[in-house]
Amino acid sequence: MLPSEFPIKQVRATYPALADGHAYLDGAAGTQVPTPVIDAIATAYRSGLGNVGGAFPASHRSDAIVGACRAAVADLVGGDARGVILGPNMTTLTYRLSKALAGPGDEVVVSRLDHDANVRPWTQTGATVRWAEVDPVTGELPVEQYADLVNERTRVVAVSAASNILGTRPDVAAIAEIAHAAGALMYVDGVHATPHGPVDMRALGADLYATSAYKWSGPHIGAVIADPALLETLRPDKLASSTDEVPERFETGTSPFADFDGVTAAVDHLAAMVPGTGSRRERLLTSMAAIEAYEQDLFAVLIEGLETMPHVTTYGKPARRTATAYFNVARHTPRQVAEHLAKLGVNVWHGHNYAWELTAALGIRDTGGAVRAGLVHYNDRSDVDRLLEGVARLG
Ligand SMILES: Cc1ncc(COP(=O)(O)O)c(C=O)c1O
């Protein structure tokens, strides 16, 4: 589908929050939620829910919701529904898995491109840590360095499928080849990447792929998807009384079942965003390709607009990136820029955005980071124009 054919008016109409007139360029920190997701959550609560595994209908409804949610998330990323671990967010799940995957005597490879949620859980395992460096000018994560970082002691290579501030999409598949040749596992942070285009975790070489539904129009739920056979080999901390089944072994406590129904609705919403045929997986691939083309087209306007303003410094120029811009404005702190834009009804984030290592590598962590303006599928040209006009006024 051509970007000009993307049904943006129709898409925007399904997001009630957009009616407040703000330009929501903060999607990288969490998207708004469309009506079918809100309705699915409300309907689940209205119909009566019980804890899973019981003998009565409300419990059976929760069982069905959990199963449907795993199937939906698996479809979104090209994974196996039996290996979908659901939890409160990516950070919590990554801490849980990192403890089960690595420890003293192992080596782990982390990158300075990554959100801290795919760094600290690994550096705190007690394993020896090796660092992949970023080119601070281009914002690229060179693949070649991995040959020197990975060896037979490497247990996990943790890397992001896309940077949450620069948008850089590193060559994860090439890194995975190096990792797998040494017998290491690939833990891929797909939190920022997932909403911006089709995902095939197997093609990426991800043994474990993490994503968060609240970045793609769903509620605040995280998921890690893996081969169930791999999960069978792992022993996370768990209660003696809770099931040892996979993937439930990794899910502590009682789950937010109604929200899980919202996750399924979000996947269905994405799958139906543009006309498509075939299985839900096939329709998702069609929709996500249309979303990617639409966002990239709009982003070309946004980034060119910023890059041509003499009082603006943009960070990174990676060859493959999501529609995410990170920039500073001369004589204004990132917070001041965000406050100025907020007065104009434009929502952007400011600061390090948890890209702790990357903002240090860019030399701006101690000076407040920068401003992040990111596009998702419900942003339109007027959002971009309002951002650019607002930033231009600071010149
Ligand atoms: C790239 C990336 N990884 C990880 C996270 C953490 O995700 P969660 O909030 O689900 O823990 C975020 C959140 O912004 C992110 O953008």
Question: Which band of pLDDT confidence, cut at 50, 70 and 90, is reported for residue 77?
Answer: very high
Q: Average pLDDT over the chain, rounded to whole?
A: 98
Question: Which band of pLDDT confidence, cut at 50, 70 and 90, is reported for residue 349?
Answer: very high
pLDDT digits (tens, 9 = 90+) for 323-346: 999 999 999 999 999 999 999 999
- By alpha-carbon position, which residue is closest to atom 12 of ligand 1? 191
Mutate which of 192, 194, 359 for ligand 1 pocket (most atoms within 8 A of beta carbon): 192
**Of all atoms in ligand 1, which is nearest to the CA of residue 88?**
10
Question: In this predicted structure, what is the pLDDT of residue 222?
Answer: 98
Mean pLDDT of 55-67: 98
What is the pTM for the complete model shown? 0.98
Mean pLDDT of 260-284: 98
Amino acid identity of residue 262, one-letter, is G
Q: How far is the CA of 363 from the centre of ligand 1 (A)?
A: 22
* Ligand 1, residues at Cβ distance < 6 Å: 29, 89-91, 115, 117-118, 160, 164, 189, 191-192, 212, 222
Q: In the β-sheet with 222-226, what is the strand arrangement from edge to edge? A: 84-87, 222-226, 208-212, 185-189, 154-160, 107-111, 128-132
Mutate which of 93, 164, 168 for ligand 1 pocket (most atoms within 8 A of beta carbon): 164
Query: ∠ CA 292-296-300 to the nearest 5 degrees?
Result: 175
CA atoms of 287 and 33, how far apart (whole Å): 17
Question: In this predicted structure, what is the pLDDT of residue 138?
Answer: 98
**Of all atoms in ligand 1, which is nearest to the CA of residue 192?**
1
Q: How far is the CA of 191 from the centre of ligand 1 (A)?
A: 6
Residues of the chain with pLDDT > 90: what percent?
100
pLDDT digits (tens, 9 = 90+) for 139-180: 999 999 999 999 999 999 999 999 999 999 999 999 999 999
Mean pLDDT of 230-242: 97
Q: How far is the CA of 168 from the centre of ligand 1 (A)?
A: 15
Q: How far is the CA of 133 from the centre of ligand 1 (A)?
A: 20
Closest to 165 in 3D by CA, of 388, 372, 336, 334: 372
**Of all atoms in ligand 1, which is nearest to the CA of residue 92?**
11
Burial (CB count within 10 angstroms: exposed 0-12, middle 13-18, buried 19+), residue 240 = exposed
Question: Which band of pLDDT confidence, cut at 50, 70 and 90, is reported for residue 81?
Answer: very high
Residues of the chain with pLDDT > 70: what percent?
100
CA atoms of 242 and 52, how far apart (whole Å): 12
pLDDT digits (tens, 9 = 90+) for 358-372: 999 999 999 999 999
